[in-house]
Amino acid sequence: YLKNLIIADLLMTVTILLKTLSEASFAPRQLKIITCRYSSVVYYFTLYISIILMTLISLDRYLKIVRPFGTSFVRNKTFGKTAAVIIWVALFSTTAMPNMILTDPRRDNASGTLNCICLKEALGQDWHYAVIKINMVIFWVCFAVMVVFYLLISKEIYESYRRSQSNNKKDKRRAKTRVYVIIVVFFLCFAPYHFARIPYILKTPGRSCSLSKSLHLVKEFTLWLTSTNTCLDPLIYLYLCKSFRRRFIRTLQLGCEYCNASEITSKRPIKLKNTETRAGTSLCPG
């Protein structure tokens, strides 16, 4: 899941840069049309890929922490790979590809401000608004599932400390913080955008291309917030996850030692196994 999340985040980063460039006053109109038809579509597509993958990661964490000795098929690597492929194919075929096909550059009148929805005919506009509704459902369902799983994880970690009769309040507080940081960051990055999309759902599909400037600005600002998640994800894992930190430090060390192979082979490799207080309570991705 984490590898697929990295790919989705990279695609989001590239497409948001193209979108930003197309908004510049010096950008050619053709670039804006390409952004409408391809870049923006890929951005939204990978955005919801990321949301679904983060939800699956929370499920994986739940199974490894709360039910560490279970034999659920969900924890099987084959299931993870299959689920990732299905998610990519299903979302691309139902949300991204139709929007690309139903966007017609020939509808551009080559004057005034270009609004992407104006490049679609009636069917394309209807599909566009349907996709918005589908994506809204995906987000709120995933958010609810993540909250439930991480709260259960937090409860299990607390119970683990209680069973071990540990009085270390600092460790308890740190464990709870790890869980709540993930939930809060997810909510702050994605929820504002989905609140801003509600007026689009309530709006009668498109026969008119007029759009409130203030509503558009709110949508663009909250869309920028969603892109910050691509920067925060690595920081979260670096700060909260010991094994991820160790791997990161090990990678930096290998880079520094690259020019001296004899020193690398003579040094004792760093042990990368999880060193959490209790086995099975790490929030690191598998």
Work out how many domains the chain is built from and give that number: 1
What pTM did the predictor assign?
0.78
**pLDDT value, residue 270:** 44
Give the DSSP letter of residue 279: T
Among 56-70, 213-227, 261-275, which stretch is predicted with the lowest mean pLDDT?
261-275
Whichever domain contains 57, its CATH number is: 1.20.1070.10
CA 138 remoteness from chain centre: 12
The domain in which residue 103 lies consists of 1-185
Token pair belonging to 115: 């609004």
In a domain, 242, yes or no: no
In a domain, 196, yes or no: no
Q: Of 89-93, 99-103, 196-200, 227-231, which has the strongest mean pLDDT?
A: 89-93
pLDDT of 276 above 50? no
Average pLDDT over residues 168-179: 69
In a domain, 284, yes or no: no
The answer to the question of residue 34 being in a domain is: yes
Q: Does any domain span residue 181?
A: yes
- 3 state DSSP class of 120: strand
From the list 63, 36, 45, 34, the residue with the least C-alpha distance to 9 is 45
**Stretch among 60-64, 116-120, 195-199, 257-261 having the lowest mean pLDDT:** 257-261
DSSP codes joined into one string, 149-175: HHHHHHHHHHHHHHHTT---HHHHHHH
Closest CA to 229 of 175, 177, 187: 187
Tokens 């390409």, located at residue: 34
Q: Is residue 247 part of a domain?
A: no
pLDDT of residue 286: 52
- Cα angle: 41, vertex 138, 188; to 5 degrees: 85
Mean pLDDT to the nearest integer, 195-221: 70
**In this structure, is residue 261 part of a structural domain?**
no
